[in-house]
């Protein structure tokens, strides 16, 4: 049967999608979600079928990509045939049945994900299976390698490439923007890709974007890293882990974080820039992702095992996540903190500074840039000598410098309702206030913390100041902050 093509002027993003009338599909013994082969005189393509109850039964609707690839035109005729399902769907079913997957099977699944040959439903089955049955260390390492193999890679000639990663959940924890210039100032190569915020008030990419362009393409980034030692860019702009991005799309609706996928996702980003010396930071605290030492130790062991399987030297540090780090939370306020630390300014947040020194010390010793026990001194020197700040200015210049805006003049102070000592600052509540104030879309939006845990406060003293570009959002945020203070004072 020959069908007459109609164009649907919507780009689907790589996927080839065709639509048939329900009855036409039934005649071909086809269901929505089946793969079909479409032929005209010019071309043959493999597409995904959708069906609709009302359209002309002798027509076939083609979304932009399918229309273009077929070079379809008015008066054309299209032949439809059923296509085989990719074999990877069988492997997904094996995983659903609790069978551990081989490297070859995992790679087949990942390849099909990247080539858009698996539907959302099929990918969701894969995520479910990995979530419920888990992925063992070997599967996780294989998944990591497959994600890297089926995405872009950055290849450097250097023997040592360093990277770091924080599991997240602590607002204001912008160590990357200090650690990268410190380590590159020490002569190490550190090509750093970071994420944008999903649920936090700012990702490293959002904060870095206040100072410099973070959407440079791979060739430019290679050049920058080879010239000045490193960069800090948005990973999403480089497509290093295409499979991972597609899996995240189906993980999003239920916010699923299958442990093996989380590990593979992190390690793939390191592996794809060639990192072989890696530091993972796991903050623990009641109000961050990892709430207790047992969980943290479990994750630590898994990271170390998988790194070993991948041939990486790795260290995992378990850090304090009981309050935000630094004083600023939100893109601009965090960027200001970072610059203060790099410039050795008097009012630089000491917790952020000390944490960075600690992280850098570990990586200096891991890479043998520093002798055992000498990392801390060397790290301090890199920061306090101004070498790191100099390097950061080079990185910013190479990536494309931006003019830092002034802090918003629209703000509201949240004051202590009683005197006492700050016992705890609720990370998620602070994040929420910043989000309501507009962060990270509004780079001005966020919070500056005047008091941290351990500080004594008097009733009426300022605990934190909320900034926003919008008077209305500021009102919402301050209302929220007043109703549900993030501070525990005793």
Q: Write out the residues near a second copy by the rule CB under 8 A.
A: 8, 10-13, 19, 27, 29, 31-33, 52-55, 61, 64, 85, 89, 92-93, 96, 98, 119-122, 124-125, 128-129, 131-133, 249-250, 252-256, 441
Q: What whole-number distance in Å separates Cα of residue 59 and Cα of residue 139?
A: 45
The residue among 6 and 475 lying less far from a second copy, judged by its C-beta, is 6
Residue 297 structure tokens: 């130790």
With tokens 């100099």, the residue in question is: 390
Q: What whole-number distance in Å separates Cα of residue 18 and Cα of residue 266?
A: 35
Q: Give the residue ranges of DSSP H helices in 324-416.
A: 331-342, 350-366, 375-384, 387-399
Q: How far is the CB of 52 from a second copy (least distance, A)?
A: 5
Catalytic residues: 257
Q: Are 34 and 82 in contact (CB under 8 A)?
A: yes
Q: How far is the CB of 140 from a second copy (least distance, A)?
A: 19
Q: How far is the CB of 12 from a second copy (least distance, A)?
A: 7
Q: What is the CB neighbour count within 10 angstroms for residue 301?
A: 12
Q: How far is the CB of 85 from a second copy (least distance, A)?
A: 8
E-strand stretches of 238-336: 277-284, 313-320, 328-329
With tokens 């918003």, the residue in question is: 408
Residues in the chain: 490
SS3 300: helix
Q: What whole-number distance in Å separates Cα of residue 47 and Cα of residue 14?
A: 11
SS3 191: strand
Closest by CA position to 276, among listed 218, 374, 189: 189
The residue among 125 and 464 lying less far from a second copy, judged by its C-beta, is 125
Q: What whole-number distance in Å separates Cα of residue 230 and Cα of residue 180?
A: 7
The residue among 128 and 138 lying less far from a second copy, judged by its C-beta, is 128
Q: How far is the CB of 87 from a second copy (least distance, A)?
A: 13
Q: Give bridge partners of residue 18 from the DSSP assignment.
A: 49, 62
The residue among 227 and 252 lying less far from a second copy, judged by its C-beta, is 252
Q: Are 114 and 123 in contact (CB under 8 A)?
A: no
SS3 197: coil
Q: How far is the CB of 435 from a second copy (least distance, A)?
A: 9
What phi, psi does 444 have (nearest 5°)?
-70, -25
Q: How far is the CB of 8 from a second copy (least distance, A)?
A: 7
Q: What whole-number distance in Å separates Cα of residue 7 and Cα of residue 15?
A: 15
Q: How far is the CB of 311 from a second copy (least distance, A)?
A: 33
Closest by CA position to 265, among listed 277, 253, 249: 249
Residues in Cβ contact with 123 at an 8 Å cutoff, skipping those fewer than 6 apart: 113, 246, 247, 250
Q: Give the residue ranges of DSSP H helices in 77-196.
A: 88-96, 103-114, 120-133, 137-149, 176-185
Q: How far is the CB of 170 from a second copy (least distance, A)?
A: 21
The residue among 91 and 464 lying less far from a second copy, judged by its C-beta, is 91
The residue among 55 and 318 lying less far from a second copy, judged by its C-beta, is 55
The residue among 219 and 253 lying less far from a second copy, judged by its C-beta, is 253
Buried/exposed 415-449: b ≥16 CB within 10 Å, e otherwise: ebeeeeebebbbbebbbbbbbbbbbbebbbbbbbb
The residue among 27 and 404 lying less far from a second copy, judged by its C-beta, is 27
SS3 286: coil
The residue among 192 and 246 lying less far from a second copy, judged by its C-beta, is 246
Q: How far is the CB of 227 from a second copy (least distance, A)?
A: 31
The residue among 38 and 62 lying less far from a second copy, judged by its C-beta, is 62
Query: In a 10 Å sphere around its CB, with 0-12 CB exposed, 13-18 middle and 19+ buried, how is residue 389 labelled?
Result: buried
């Amino acid at each position: 049967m020959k069908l007459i093509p109609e164009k649907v002027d919507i780009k689907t993003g790589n996927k080839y999608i065709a639509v048939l009338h329900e009855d036409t599909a039934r005649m071909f013994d086809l269901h929505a979600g089946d793969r079909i082969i479409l032929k005209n005189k010019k071309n043959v393509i493999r597409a995904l079928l959708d069906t609709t109850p009302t359209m002309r039964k002798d027509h076939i609707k083609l979304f932009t990509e399918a229309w273009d690839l077929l070079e379809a035109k008015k008066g054309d005729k299209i032949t439809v045939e059923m296509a085989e399902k990719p074999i990877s769907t069988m492997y997904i079913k094996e995983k659903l049945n609790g069978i551990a997957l081989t490297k070859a099977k995992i790679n087949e699944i990942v390849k099909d994900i990247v080539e858009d040959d698996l539907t959302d439903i099929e990918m969701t089955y894969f995520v479910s299976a990995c979530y419920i049955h888990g992925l063992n260390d070997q599967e996780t390492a294989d998944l990591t390698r497959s994600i890297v193999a089926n995405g872009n890679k950055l290849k450097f000639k250097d023997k040592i490439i360093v990277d770091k990663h924080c599991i997240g959940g602590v607002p204001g924890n912008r160590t990357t923007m200090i650690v990268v210039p410190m380590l590159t100032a020490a002569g190490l190569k550190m090509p750093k890709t970071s994420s944008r915020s999903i649920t936090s008030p700012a990702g490293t990419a959002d904060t870095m974007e206040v100072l410099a362009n973070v959407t440079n393409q791979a060739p430019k980034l290679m050049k920058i890293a080879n010239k000045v030692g490193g960069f800090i860019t948005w990973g999403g702009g480089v497509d290093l882990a295409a499979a991972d991005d597609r899996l995240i799309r189906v993980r999003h609706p239920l916010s699923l974080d299958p442990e093996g996928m989380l590990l593979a996702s992190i390690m793939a980003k390191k592996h794809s820039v060639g990192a072989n010396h890696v530091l993972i930071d796991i903050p623990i605290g009641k109000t961050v992702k990892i709430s207790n030492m047992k969980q943290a130790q479990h994750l630590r062991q898994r990271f170390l095992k998988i790194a070993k399987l991948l041939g990486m030297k790795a260290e995992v540090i378990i850090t304090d996540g009981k309050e935000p780090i630094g004083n600023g939370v939100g893109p601009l306020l965090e960027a200001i903190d970072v610059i203060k630390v790099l410039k050795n300014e008097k009012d630089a947040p000491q917790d952020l500074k000390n944490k960075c020194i600690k992280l850098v010390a570990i990586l200096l010793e891991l890479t043998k840039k520093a002798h055992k026990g000498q990392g801390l001194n060397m790290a301090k020197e890199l920061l306090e000598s101004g070498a790191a700040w100099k390097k950061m200015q080079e990185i910013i210049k190479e990536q494309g410098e931006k003019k830092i805006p002034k802090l918003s003049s629209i703000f509201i102070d949240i004051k202590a309702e009683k005197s006492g000592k700050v016992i705890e600052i609720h990370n998620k509540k602070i994040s929420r206030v910043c989000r309501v104030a507009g962060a990270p879309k509004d780079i001005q939006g966020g919070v500056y913390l005047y008091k941290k845990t351990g500080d004594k406060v008097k009733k009426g003293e300022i605990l934190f100041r909320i900034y926003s570009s919008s008077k209305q959002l500021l009102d919402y945020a301050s209302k929220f902050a007043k109703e549900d203070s993030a501070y525990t004072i005793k």
